[in-house]
């Protein structure tokens, strides 16, 4: 999804337009996460950018996309650029031995 989304629409309250934009973003994440996973892939990951224009868009984490769009709307921006690209994600398992050495008192001898 690469879109320049207007935050103001004639005849509509800006808060309702903002809520519709947030809904569209959440719906896109849900739709992408529900796609079938290829072999060897554990989950869908996303590369996200948000900004006032495509040139000024900054990389943000998935959980901050909605917050960044909300912050842009509060500054009075008329539109916001949102880029969300899905990619394959593979879980990396941490070695248990290293964690035990770093925090020996967490397990308290159990």
Q: Using CA atoms, how far apart are residues 10 and 8, in angstroms rounded to an integer?
A: 7
Q: Which residues contact 84 (CB under 8 A, 6 or more apart)?
A: 1, 25, 28, 29, 32, 46, 47, 48, 65
pLDDT tens across the length of the chain (110 residues): 999 999 999 999 999 999 999 999 999 999 999 999 999 999 999 999 999 999 999 999 999 999 999 999 999 999 999 999 999 999 998 887 655 555 555 555 54
């Amino acid at each position: 999804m690469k879109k320049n989304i207007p935050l103001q629409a004639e005849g509509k309250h800006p808060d309702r337009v903002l809520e519709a934009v947030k809904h569209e973003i959440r719906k896109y994440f849900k739709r992408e996460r529900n796609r079938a996973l290829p072999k060897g892939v554990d989950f869908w990951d996303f590369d996200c950018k948000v900004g006032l224009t495509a040139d000024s868009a900054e990389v943000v984490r998935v959980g901050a996309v909605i917050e960044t769009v909300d912050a842009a709307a509060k500054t009075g921006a008329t539109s916001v650029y949102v880029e969300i690209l899905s990619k394959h994600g593979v879980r990396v398992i941490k070695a248990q031995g290293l964690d035990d050495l770093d925090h020996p008192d967490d397990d308290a001898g159990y």
